[in-house]
Amino acid sequence: MIFSSIVDYIHGMLIERYRDDGIKAKLAVISSVIINLSLLSFFKYSDFFILNINYLIGTSFDTLNLSLPIGISFYTFQTMSYTIDVYRGEAPVQRNPIALATYVTLFPQLIAGPIVRYQTVASQINNRKETIDKFAEGIKRFLIGLGKKVLLANNIGMLWSSVQNTPQNELTVVTAWLGIIAFSFQIYFDFSGYSDMAIGLGKMFGFDFLENFNYPYISKNITEFWRRWHISLGTWFKDYLYIPMGGNRVSKVKAYRNLFIVWFLTGLWHGASWNFVVWGLYFGIIIAIERVGFLKVLKRLGKPIGHFYAMFVVTVGWVFFVFDKLNEGIEYLKVMFGLNNVQFYNGQTFYYIINYGLLLIALIIFSTPFITKLHSKIMSKADGSLKILYENGVIIGFYFIILILTTAYLVDATYNPFLYFRF
C-alpha cells in the first residue's frame, strides 16, 4: 500500500505537470496503470499463470506461494481510479502525499469494499464535517451491517457448510438446492453487511461512501441484477474499461466483444481460478442473450416469471463461483438437476428444512425492501407521541437488540468465515 501510494502520488503530480502536453500526460497515466496491474498480477495471478503453463507445455516450474496482500484487489482499483480521474480532469490532483495515502489506506472499506473512487471522496478528504447526528447515523448503519453478517450470513452459512461437506453421492436434489440457496443468501448478507459496516464507519469519520447493493434479489432479469449487485465494481469496469473501449456505441460485433472482455476480467478479478472466469463469462453470455431480445420477451411474460428466471440463473451461477474446482461444480449441478441417479429428498433434507426453514423465510423478507417500506409507512402515518415512542423506543430498542445479539454471538460462536480474503 505504501508503494502504491507513492507511485500514484508521483504519477498524479506528473499528469498535472504535463497537462498541457497530451502525450506526456497520457504516458504518465499508462505508466500508473501498468505498475498497478503488474503489482496485482504478480501477487494474485503468478501461481495461476505458472500452473497453467505447467499444464499446457508439461513443465514443472515451482509455484511462488506468495502471501496475498490483504485488500490488494480493492486498493489497486482505487489507486488507478485516482490517476485516471486526475488525467480526465474529473478530480483535482492531491498535492499532499499523506492525504492521498489516507485515501488508499482508508480502513473501513479497505478489505471488503465498496470500491471507493477518488472523485467520490476527493473533496471530503480535506473538507469533511463530523457531527453527532452523522456519527449516530453511522452507528445505526454499522449495526445493520453487523447484524446482516453475524446473525444472518453466518447462520445460513452453516447450512451451506454442512451441505458442501456432504459427499455428493449422499446428497439429494432438494438438499443440493437448499445448499446453494443458502450460499446465495450467505454471500449477499455477508457482502452487503460488510458494505453497510464500511458505509457506517465512513459516516462516523465524516465520509459519504456510495451504496454498493440495492436489493439485487428482487431483480426481474440479469441485467437489472448486476445494476443492483456490487454496484461499485460494476461501475468501475463500466467507466474505466467498457466505455473507453467503445461500450455499445460501436458495431454490434465490437460491442459484444467489449461485453465479454469486461465479464472475463470481472470473473478473473474475483480470484485466480478458472471457475471465476467461467462464472464471469456465464453472466456475460446471459446478458448478451438478454440484449439480443430476451429482455423484451421477459417483459411480456410478466414480473413473477422474470423474477423466477433471474433468481434461477443467479443461483445456478453461484455454483461456478463457490467451487474452486470446475469438475466439483459440474458434479454438484448434476445433483441439483437429478442427473446422478440421486434421491429427490431424504431424512436429512427434512432435518435442514425444519432447522433452517424460519431463517430462510426471514432471509427472503430481509432481502427485499419490505422492512424499509414498512418503516417509511409508519413514519408517514404516525404523529405526536406515537411517533416519538416509535423513534425513541421501538427503533432504538431494535438497534440495541442487534448490538446485544451480535456481541453474544461473536463471543460464543466459532463459525465466522471471511469470504473475501481471496480478493
What is the chain's alpha carbon radius of gyration, rounded to the nearest angstrom? Answer: 23
The three-class DSSP label of residue 264 is helix
Cα dihedral 110, 111, 115, 120, rounded to 10, equals -20
Q: How many CA atoms, within 13 angstroms, populate the side-chain half-sphere of residue 365?
A: 11
* CA–CA gap between residue 410 and residue 390 (Å, rounded): 29
Quick one: cell of 257? Answer: 466483444
Dihedrals φ, ψ of 45, to 5°? -120, 0
- C-alpha 190/C-alpha 276 separation (Å) is 19
Q: Does residue 11 have an active-site annotation?
A: no
CA distance 225 to 147: 23
CB 169 within 8 A of CB 343: no
Separation between Cα atoms, residue 270 and residue 59, nearest integer Å: 27
Cα–Cα distance for residue pair 104/74, rounded to 1 Å: 9
- The 3-state DSSP class for residue 160 equals helix
Q: How far is CA 252 from CA 224, 256, 292, 307, in A?
A: 21, 6, 10, 28
Q: Report which DSSP code applies to 69.
A: P
Cell of 92: 483535482
Greatest distance between any 2 Cα atoms in the chain: 77
Q: Please pick, among 230, 270, 307, 375, the residue that the annotation labels catalytic.
A: 270
Q: How far is CA 386 from CA 133, 291, 373, 380, 396, in A?
A: 22, 50, 18, 12, 14
Which residue type sits at 291?
R
Task: Please answer whether residues 224 and 253 qualify as being in contact, where contact means their C-beta atoms are separated by less than 8 angstroms.
Answer: no
Handedness of CA 270, 250, 224, 380 (dihedral sign): positive
Q: How many CB atoms lie within 10 A of CB 396?
A: 12
- Name which of 105, 61, 64 is nearest 82 in CA terms: 105
Location of C-alpha cell 463471543: 411
Cell 448478451: give the residue.
Answer: 288
Q: Which residues are catalytic?
A: 270
